[in-house]
Amino acid sequence: MVHHLFSRRSDTKPDFPERVDLPYLTDREAGATLCLLQLLVEAGAAEVYTQPIPGSDGRYRWNVWLGEQIKPGGERIELREWAARALCVEYRPDGDAV
């Protein structure tokens, strides 16, 4: 048991996306989308999770699962695309919202 306590690595993965995970948005836009996402998660209408491997920039790649209440059959969508949709802006997979 003692070996287990001293050999544990600390997990630095965040529990929820942060402002830095939406670099193409303004602070206000990122704050609004993250607040909306938090409300959806708390209501049980969405979940957030990361892909197993961090992205090339060292940040985790977040996904959003939209439940039946929002999308019949549910839907998995990348956080950046979800945020762009929530703000009604065009999303391009290269990470830019226009």
Does 52 or 49 have the greater pLDDT score? 49
For residue 38, pLDDT over 60 is answered with yes
Output the CA angle 12-14-15, nearest 5 degrees.
135
Quick one: pLDDT at residue 93? 59
Q: Note the pLDDT tens digit of each residue in 57-96.
A: 777 889 999 998 888 899 999 999 999 999 986 656 555 5
Is the predicted pLDDT of residue 4 greater than 80, yes or no? no
Q: What is the pTM of this model?
A: 0.74
Please state the domain extents for the chain: 2-97
Question: Could you read off the pLDDT of 14-24 as tens digits, one per residue?
Answer: 889 999 999 98
Higher pLDDT, 10 or 80: 80
pLDDT at 9 over 70: no
Exposed/middle/buried for residue 47 (C-beta within 10 Å: 0-12, 13-18, 19+)? middle
Distance CA(19)–CA(11), nearest Å, equals 20
Asked if 30 contacts 18 with a C-beta cutoff of 8 angstroms, the reply is no
